[in-house]
Amino acid sequence: MNIQLKQYYTYQDFSSNCAFLLSSLEDIPENWLSSDEAYYLQRIKTNSPDEIIFPINRANYSWFFILPQPDENIAKYLENIRLAGYRLNKYTRKQGIKELNISLFHSSSHNLYALAEGIILSDYSFQKYRNKKNKVNKLLESVYILSEDFTEKQIQELQIITEAVYFCRDLVNEIPSKLNAETLAEVLKQKAEEVSMRVEVMNKEKIESLRMGGLLGVNKGSSIPPTFTVLEWKHPQAINRQPIVFIGKGITFDSGGMNIKTGTYMENMKSDMAGAATVASVVIAAARLSLPIYVLAFIPATDNRINSDAIVPGEIITMYNETTVEVVNTDAEGRLILADALSYASKFDPLLTITAATLTGAAARAIGKFGIVVMQSKAKAQLEWLKKSGEEVYERLVEFPLWEEYFDLIKSDIADIKNSGPAEAGAITAGKFLEYFTSYPFIHLDIAGTSYTEKHEDYRGIGATGTGVRLLISFLQNFIQNTQNQ
């Protein structure tokens, strides 16, 4: 991320590229505009009542007056401001603007935060493999926030959180030949050590000694050994003795295994490790923010490929907790590696465990790109906090049930459990499979519909979106606040 956030408490000279957040055009101070400019803005407003960006271009600079779509729902209004930031970013790119000042009239620092967030998240692009002549001009280098109410803490927080989203996107967008289980572990280890976090990378020999049959089983078709990475952030004054454990699905490429994906279903399967990228980014950001909390991230990682050793449907594998699993579909592999990690988490007596995974096409088909499917077991109160965070950052959650009847769909005749059920309720049976390996409060996030996009529609960009990073950081912040208030 190249954009640097800066702040001036007082600023007198607006003879530069500036964006002003307004609630009405009447908020513009008197004598700021010539009569022609004022007439021009009113004409745009009259002829295009849905317009939200009102540009004034002068000889050496431009002003942009921003009127986000109003909404009585505060969360939706803040999202409209982020979307206005996306629209504004398109203007800055078109005009080649490198430095932008943003300010506001008759609004709050929360609104200005959302505007800066929308601008910065919109400016991301993955250009590592483009030739120089084909690179997209990424010209915005600095955003200056002109507000006496905007604190240095907010500046630092926004910088760290948006950088975490960028890091997550970079990991997911990386090509499969450059990002496998081993290189993913190396990148995470280096990144975590930069902020003095404890890191452990378990190699194949260690994983074999732990008898993690799910991770080893999925890995049998690969020439690249699996890894299991543990990241730990424990603040000296952590408010929780028991850790919150985040577990991310780290399938670095998913061919489907012997149940090979057909048509174009394999096209974007480098993104099947988005859950791993999400939870790693969150815990590293927690350390950078110095949140007073104890959190762990578990990243079981492998690719799901095919060779003569690959597991086949009908195989039975023994998991870390000695549960036997009948593999009926090798393309239902993510839940196998997550299940080992969930069982391993029991060693740490977790306060809460949250899994993030691009787990099922069923979740994406059920609610599309507009939300994240969530399920919980013994974590009703924590889920309400997470839902609140989902509204605040506009990464909304749709709860699916984990009724006991769904377990009947994954009972096996020859093993303790099977790894897939019928097409109906596919997202739920996947969640039910994971729940089987828990004995503690548990939340499951299926991010299959939101983690990757093929259209550039808003500040989430194209390709990896980083969805889940802002959500889980906000959840940790809400958890800290709620705990301290009790």
Q: Which residue is catalytic, options 76, 261, 369, 378? A: 261
As to burial, measured by CB atoms within 10 angstroms (0-12 exposed, 13-18 middle, 19+ buried), residue 65 is buried
Catalytic residue check, 189: no
Catalytic residue check, 58: no
Measure the CA–CA gap between 281 and 447, rounded to whole angstroms. Answer: 15
Rg (the chain; Cα; Å):
24
Long-range contacts of 235-242 (CB under 8 A, 24+ apart): 235/290, 235/291, 235/292, 235/293, 235/294, 237/292, 238/292, 238/293, 238/294, 239/292, 239/293, 239/480, 239/483, 239/484, 240/293, 240/294, 240/351, 240/483, 241/294, 242/294, 242/348, 242/349, 242/350, 242/351
Full 3-state SS string of the chain = CCCEEEEECCCCCCCCCEEEECCCHHHCCCCCCCHHHHHHHHHHHHHCCCCCEEEEECCCCEEEEECCCCCCCHHHHHHHHHHHHHHHHHHHHHHCCCEEEEEECCCCHHHHHHHHHHHHHHCCCCCCCCCHHHCCCCCCCEEEEECCCCCHHHHHHHHHHHHHHHHHHHHHHCCCCCCCHHHHHHHHHHHHHCCCCEEEEECHHHHHHHCCHHHHHHHCCCCCCCEEEEEEEECCCCCCCCCEEEEECEEEEECCCCCCCCCCCCCCHHHHHHHHHHHHHHHHHHHHCCCCCEEEEEEEEEEECCCCCCCCCCCEEECCCCCEEECCCCCCCHHHHHHHHHHHHHHHCCCEEEEEECCCHHHHHHHCCCCEEEEEECCHHHHHHHHHHHHHHCCCEEECCCCHHHHHHHCCCCCCEECCCCCCCHHHHHHHHHHCCCCCCEEEEECCCCCEECCCCCCCCCEECCCCHHHHHHHHHHHHHHHHHC
Q: Which residue is catalytic, options 82, 87, 305, 335? A: 335
Nearest 10 degrees: Cα torsion 258, 263, 266, 268? -170
**Among candidate residues 291, 294, 333, the one with its CA nearest the CA of residue 311:** 333
Catalytic center residues: 261, 335
